[in-house]
Structure 1
């Protein structure tokens, strides 16, 4: 080893080394155990301990320094925590196990916080308004005899809310016994019940809700059906609030009225009707027990399948088990002092489950067939009369008793169906397509509407043909001309046009009028009745054409009525004045809004260019049947609200529209229409009881009518042809400009040359009236003798000519079973002034003029392609005496004259919609 490696560095000796916190060890002890020499400085220098080695000395030195430090900075005690967790005086996992004090304190704190939160929430949560669906009710419509007819309105919810007093005690106690036995005493929430339900479900038992009646009512009335914790918590709070604020009776009634029982029945009243056909107040113990079972699961306990209507054995077995369980619970417990006795229980069980009393499923909310027309007609009446508005009806809750007779409604529908099936074949004949009927029957002397036919089906054909179909009525309007002539009289030609009744002459049925074809019509004073020619715009005299130019000279008004001649009535209407004819029609019962303009510029007004509709026509004719007593038609006799309070009871107001002598004279002339062999309604002569009536057909054969009456019933039947929907139109019809609601001619319909009032409409009328016969029909009152004065109108001779060999001028007596057509009655377009012919002519069958709308060269002189009531044949064929009848055009109106007319809001039965 080299020298320089062994050499100590300068100044690095023991004594010269820099202090490093350690001291050199003491010198070794003297040998032999001798005492060490006394040092003079011993007292000043502490004695150092002896160490066996340098390492021991070093460790001793370190320990001395550490000890010195601990003494200088002693450890302070740990501060005590409010919650000693994790626990300081435990180690390991024990530090994280809370003490019993901590557990108890936490539980108490949580309970206090929870109670505070619940209290705050209870104070802050408002009691909401009931759901709209919970308040939605239906309107219940009843037939005239009190049987339930239909349920409608209220958003199509079949519910009628009733007070608890209208729910039987048996039903109340059954639901409490089965659903919530502590109902009358609990606070609205049954925590023990919820616990039992949860425990039962945890054990795999039957699913239970654990909800009280109050909770279920709150859920139905105020909340949604969502299965969420938030909804459940809200349900619990509201249940407590409702139980504290609302009477128990109100809660129970609310629960029974908001619960649904299958078959679309919501509420106990609807359920009682749907399953047993009784009111809720009449439910017995057995029925109540069954309906209670439906609350547990409506679709599981209804013995009948709602879709097929067949018995479901599984459901029936479940329902019977639940039914018996409910009865036994009523026997075991006492509810408000009531308990089903052992004797009553045994008697019910012996009688057995009421499966035979449970009605098969049927749709409560029915609008198809005629029902929709009936309910809407009743709604229109209530709204028009200001009894219940449409908005109020939409909210539902009304019980409406109507005037409708179920049997008569069925009979009218069957009559239309029978004629349609027998005479019409849309697949074989295009002319049989788009055929529609409308009908109505009204009670004379009362005004009650007993039956209507609104169309094939209210869910397919939406407009009500019985109400205001905007179809002209043709010659069925003529009795109002007679009534005006008999009541007010013809005007004095020497006096002003607007003259009082004292200056007029009451007309006799034996008055004579001219029936010539192309007859120039005069004003009451003999001046020409001028109208504007549509082609030239010039003022020309109106000439009334007859079918194919046929005529029979001067005839009496009675004869003109029998054969429905047109020229005499056109002139008679001008003599009396169209305004007075309109007044008579309104007095009889027609609405002013359904009539076209009535003045001396409309000579065809008397021939039926207005559009009253079947109901109003039947009602107006009933005024004649009741010897002049007019009664407004009505369809509702009583209205009550959901609580049973009566809101309206019909009290008719009778009005003597005409003197009885006037009305009875009109009736006598209409009896001749049926009884006279030449009468246009002679096919009804053998119906078997006294009837009177009048046929009517319009221009271009676009509509045909028969309106007639007995002493018990007045009925109007109309027939026309109009498409319902675009998809019903053929390509050819579209090319021809035919659209929805366009009136089309009925030439060749039913295989006949034309349709007249005495053909298919009379068939339907006879089918209905025969079926609806009551057996109480009486003879009509005898008319007065020598009524009125004989008037020679329009230049006629008061000694009438003998009937010539020429055929008569208007509607023939048609045999509805023959293939021969009967004549028609064209009428004028209510929206236009009637046109005139080009030049008058004396020829019986004049050639067509350039402006003659009632003549068609291709059809042998028909009026604009249309003939009047059968082309002059009687009943489709020759009469027994070889003569023909009823061959004249009703109006000779131009351009086919029949338009959609006045569908008008004022033209409906009640003056609205």
Structure 2
């Protein structure tokens, strides 16, 4: 065989092999296709669909529309004192059903626009939204949106609020049935009348009264749109208690509702442009919450809400809530306020007297239990609790936090000397601080020049210039960290500037009681708690511990306590002294809008505040010339209330002694000569208020003498600087004060 024939033979073999391979593969594919033809796949899919449809139909048939619960099983909540005696019973459902015909048509449409634009056209369910909700429930992502108005009505009226797979399936089936059995108007009326709006209001009639003081029939479109927007997050969007973020979200939701109305042709764009956001009225306590009861119940509810039990859950009833409030101490606190303040006021006949508000919080420093609380004259007349409100400045009650931060951070002066109770500062009024990018030159009480003065003496007499420099030395940022670690709340009013040393942020008596309890508990953080236990037949919440770990070291806390004992013994807090060991600090804010006394014994911490408020509650006013001529001060009425209460409340604990481990301070050095100090004016806690307008000390950029002050020191014998030692810091010289040697600089003295 020739080579040509051999080559052709090999080519034939190759072609035959390829044909055989293709035939084999074709055979394999033909075998697979016998089992998975498109007809069989389609048939299987159709069968599965029919099976699902059949199962759903079976569920649909077997699931009846249940009897309406309509919150019929609601129970009262029982609130008890710590000894188990009854404080209050609440839980009566605040709802009045009104027919849809009494609700303005544009308000009805606002609810549809906010929640379910397709309501009038859909079949009662949103399959996509429901599927998403089911998936999220299975995956454990919790509550999700997407339900139609019909579904929400079914959930409120027939079912529970549980986020379970079975409940969601029932909601879907019953919604389809209800949509077929009831008219859209009936469903819309049921939805509007059963929804929860916050403030204890169920239904639009109760909500209209709670937020705007009108009947549902009198609601404007703007008001109705807010109530419709509110349903998404009642607690978060309630204007009276919402954060700035919450208010922004509520406003956005309101605009969203109106935009949808325009898009649906239910509202003219020109009419939309004329609408303004309707700020709701301040909330009012429910009947039966008279006196201090309403404040105590509200504080307990707020604490439970902060620990994960929603206001809606509490309003649903069935709770037995025991408070830490000691009935005898609560009565003692109320009597102290009546005796030391209310007996001296004529609230109805004197407009100035009507502006004075008092608040107080008393805490056991070892346990963090709030044993007594004073929220105001009457919870049904002044709804906002003066004990927990955070819209006033704590003033110089913040100075111990500055001292604690300096000690804890082992801060040093501008000259590098460690800060102790014996460290010398220049205590002259209006002395510019050194080392700060923000100029600040605060005025002392009565514009008094103390010259060289120890930290202890500056604490006794609440010398602004010393603490302004101290916060620069430790830095405002570090001081803020210490404040937050000790329990103060972060938020607006915390610019990290020297003026922060004068307590220019906002805080409540509750907050400051936690700070001082942390000091009294040797530096362990104390978060005041008013709830002792919360019991419910269906759930058992886990409450957080009131006492945590070390916020600051024991030495730091005890050293501050030692400094504040001196304030009571010979400083601005002498009016609080009694038959017990005590430590404390006075405070008076800028323009005399607040006057504070924060003090503690080894067994009891109490913070008392007076607040100047317009009688209608719309703004802050000065306390000057109200309870006495001139300025109110923390060493006056607040210290008097504190002493009267503490004397009655301590009982057998009156003999307790502080167990302190203080940091060993360096001994002060005597000065080369003693400067003269300006004589104090009559007993006040801070200089007279300056003329309007006044600069904000937290933002002032002037190095000139400050025209206003934020302090609170009552003149006392220890204010004399005739024996003051030499400052350990120096600075560029400033103009000499009268009676001071010309060579003495503005910060320290040089021999």
In structure 1, C-alpha distance between the alignment counterparts of 2:540 and 2:521, rounded to whole Å: 30
Aligned to 2:640: 763
**Using a 3 Å threshold, how does the CA distance of structure 1 residues 659 and 829 change in structure 2: closer, same or farther?**
farther
Q: 1:509 aligns with which of 397, 421, 444?
A: 421
Q: SS of 1:517's equivalent?
A: coil
The 5 A counterparts of 1:271-290 are none
Q: SS of 2:407's equivalent?
A: helix
Aligned to 2:576: 684
**Using a 3 Å threshold, how does the CA distance of structure 1 residues 433 and 804 change in structure 2: closer, same or farther?**
farther
Q: 1:716 offset after TM fit, Å?
A: 0.3
Aligned to 1:773: 650
Q: SS of 1:555's equivalent?
A: strand
The 5 A counterparts of 1:808-823 are 821-823=684-686
**Using a 3 Å threshold, how does the CA distance of structure 1 residues 473 and 128 change in structure 2: closer, same or farther?**
same
In structure 1, C-alpha distance between the alignment counterparts of 2:399 and 2:91, rounded to whole Å: 41
User: Are residue 614 (structure 1) and residue 512 (structure 2) matched?
Assistant: no
Q: 2:297 aligns with which of 368, 371, 375?
A: 375
Aligned to 2:77: 139
Q: 1:554 offset after TM fit, Å?
A: 0.8
- Residues 288-312 of structure 1: CA deviation (Å, up to 9, x unaligned): xxxxxxxxxxxxxxxxxxxxxxxxx
Contact 2:413-2:419 within 8 A present in 1 as well:
no
- Residues 156-181 of structure 1: CA deviation (Å, up to 9, x unaligned): 69xxxxxxxxxxxxxxxxxxxxxxxx
User: Are residue 129 (structure 1) and residue 21 (structure 2) matched?
Assistant: no
**Using a 3 Å threshold, how does the CA distance of structure 1 residues 724 and 138 change in structure 2: closer, same or farther?**
farther
**Using a 3 Å threshold, how does the CA distance of structure 1 residues 803 and 505 change in structure 2: closer, same or farther?**
closer
**Using a 3 Å threshold, how does the CA distance of structure 1 residues 450 and 688 change in structure 2: closer, same or farther?**
same
Q: SS of 1:582's equivalent?
A: helix
- Residues 366-409 of structure 1: CA deviation (Å, up to 9, x unaligned): 311111111111111111111x1111112111111221122222
**Using a 3 Å threshold, how does the CA distance of structure 1 residues 663 and 653 change in structure 2: closer, same or farther?**
closer
Q: 1:581 offset after TM fit, Å?
A: 0.8
Give unmatched runs, 5+ long, in structure 1. 1-122, 158-220, 223-363, 495-503, 524-528, 532-540, 726-739, 792-797, 815-819, 841-851, 855-862, 886-913
Q: 1:420 offset after TM fit, Å?
A: 2.2
Per residue, is there more helix in 1 or in 2?
2
Aligned to 1:460: 381
Aligned to 2:707: 853
Q: 2:316 aligns with which of 390, 395, 420?
A: 395
- Residues 205-264 of structure 1: CA deviation (Å, up to 9, x unaligned): xxxxxxxxxxxxxxxx99xxxxxxxxxxxxxxxxxxxxxxxxxxxxxxxxxxxxxxxxxx
**Using a 3 Å threshold, how does the CA distance of structure 1 residues 717 and 389 change in structure 2: closer, same or farther?**
same
Aligned to 2:664: 786
Aligned to 1:835: 700
**Using a 3 Å threshold, how does the CA distance of structure 1 residues 373 and 801 change in structure 2: closer, same or farther?**
farther
Contact 1:553-1:801 within 8 A present in 2 as well:
no
Q: SS of 2:549's equivalent?
A: strand
User: Are residue 719 (structure 1) and residue 640 (structure 2) matched?
Assistant: no
Aligned to 2:677: 806
Q: Which has the larger radius of gyration?
A: 1
Q: 1:633 offset after TM fit, Å?
A: 1.6
Q: 1:490 offset after TM fit, Å?
A: 1.9
User: Are residue 566 (structure 1) and residue 464 (structure 2) matched?
Assistant: yes
Q: SS of 1:543's equivalent?
A: coil
**Using a 3 Å threshold, how does the CA distance of structure 1 residues 579 and 546 change in structure 2: closer, same or farther?**
same
Contact 1:445-1:630 within 8 A present in 2 as well:
no
Contact 1:481-1:581 within 8 A present in 2 as well:
yes
In structure 1, C-alpha distance between the alignment counterparts of 2:650 and 2:387, rounded to whole Å: 21
In structure 2, C-alpha distance between the alignment counterparts of 1:468 and 1:557, rounded to whole Å: 31
- Residues 66-85 of structure 1: CA deviation (Å, up to 9, x unaligned): xxxxxxxxxxxxxxxxxxxx
Q: 1:619 offset after TM fit, Å?
A: 1.1
Q: Which moved more, 1:828-837 or 1:130-139?
A: 828-837
In structure 2, C-alpha distance between the alignment counterparts of 1:695 and 1:801, rounded to whole Å: 32
**Using a 3 Å threshold, how does the CA distance of structure 1 residues 542 and 631 change in structure 2: closer, same or farther?**
closer
TM-score w.r.t. the length of structure 1 is 0.48
**Using a 3 Å threshold, how does the CA distance of structure 1 residues 802 and 834 change in structure 2: closer, same or farther?**
farther
Aligned to 2:557: 663
Q: SS of 1:141's equivalent?
A: strand
TM-score w.r.t. the length of structure 2 is 0.58
**Using a 3 Å threshold, how does the CA distance of structure 1 residues 521 and 825 change in structure 2: closer, same or farther?**
farther
Q: 1:473 offset after TM fit, Å?
A: 1.0
Aligned to 1:479: 400
Contact 2:430-2:442 within 8 A present in 1 as well:
yes
Give unmatched runs, 5+ long, in structure 2. 1-60, 96-156, 159-285, 725-751
Q: SS of 1:775's equivalent?
A: helix
User: Are residue 449 (structure 1) and residue 370 (structure 2) matched?
Assistant: yes
Contact 1:397-1:642 within 8 A present in 2 as well:
yes
Q: SS of 1:417's equivalent?
A: helix
User: Are residue 743 (structure 1) and residue 620 (structure 2) matched?
Assistant: yes
- Residues 442-470 of structure 1: CA deviation (Å, up to 9, x unaligned): 11021111111111111111111111241
In structure 2, C-alpha distance between the alignment counterparts of 1:553 and 1:125, rounded to whole Å: 85
Contact 2:354-2:615 within 8 A present in 1 as well:
no
Contact 1:481-1:572 within 8 A present in 2 as well:
yes
In structure 2, C-alpha distance between the alignment counterparts of 1:579 and 1:882, rounded to whole Å: 31
- Residues 450-501 of structure 1: CA deviation (Å, up to 9, x unaligned): 111111111111111111241111111000011011110225869xxxxxxx
